[in-house]
Amino acid sequence: MPSEEQISVAIIPEFEVDEALDAKLRAFLCELFPNWESIFRTRRTWHDAKPIFTVLATNKNGAIAGHVAIVERTISTEWNCRYPVASVQGVSVAPSRRGEGLARKLIDMALDESRRIGYLYAILFCREPLVQFYSRLGWKLPYDPMIMWRDRELPIHMQSDYPMYYELTQEPFPGGSIDVHNPF
Ligand SMILES: CC(C)(COP(=O)(O)OP(=O)(O)OC[C@H]1O[C@@H](n2cnc3c(N)ncnc32)[C@H](O)[C@@H]1OP(=O)(O)O)[C@@H](O)C(=O)NCCC(=O)NCCS
């Protein structure tokens, strides 16, 4: 049953995240992703990237109810076309607020803002049980491999090994295998 408590949702650009908020966000991520505590104890995103912005839901008392971060990555195609993409990270809703459509709302806001910034595509990597969740929200599984690279030579073995993509405009997602890099 939806909780009566009001929550506020805001888009926070990275330059507005001070030390205290950074620590609060990392504490939330450590709690929601206990298996990845070693990552979130020191930073909020994967593979040396910084968020561009965070979509944050908070209760009236300031406690975090939900979180989504957007990091920029570059994808390159088999034909060496390159696109900057919005990479969705840290999708999480506090257990007491689940089932109210909050994750959908946070992801929609993150995608709207990414579209406004000018990205054509969003991507994410998730685990198999979450594929159905993201499919419900309009995300698609690529036909061909999508591989994350640490640098130009070293592929990353992803713990979340189901890549998905979302088309932010009418422009179709490129076919063929896709490499994902930190921006360069
Ligand atoms: C996954 C998670 C973010 C969902 O948050 P939520 O606020 O309860 O999700 P919503 O209420 O917005 O659900 C949106 C839709 O997905 C469905 N859904 C929710 N969780 C689902 C799941 N685990 N599997 C499949 N579908 C799911 C809902 O039924 C709803 O569908 P509908 O709109 O067609 O009725 C939340 O359970 C969570 O934080 N889990 C732990 C962290 C995690 O695994 N994050 C994902 C990292 S990739």
pLDDT tens digit sequence for 109-152: 999 999 999 999 999 999 999 999 999 999 999 999 898 887 66
CB of 93 closer than 6 angstroms to any ligand 1 atom: yes
CATH number of 7-181: 3.40.630.30
**Nearest CA, atom 9, ligand 1:** 103
CB of 122 closer than 6 angstroms to any ligand 1 atom: no
Considering the entire predicted model, what is its pTM? 0.94
CB of 99 closer than 6 angstroms to any ligand 1 atom: yes
State in Å: Cα 56 to ligand 1 middle.
Answer: 16
Please report where in the chains the tokens 């957007």 appear, as a residue: 70
Residues contacting 116, CB < 8 A, separation 6+? none
Q: Mean pLDDT per segment of 10 residues, for the chain of length 184 residues?
A: 78 97 97 93 84 97 97 93 96 97 98 98 96 97 88 71 96 94 73
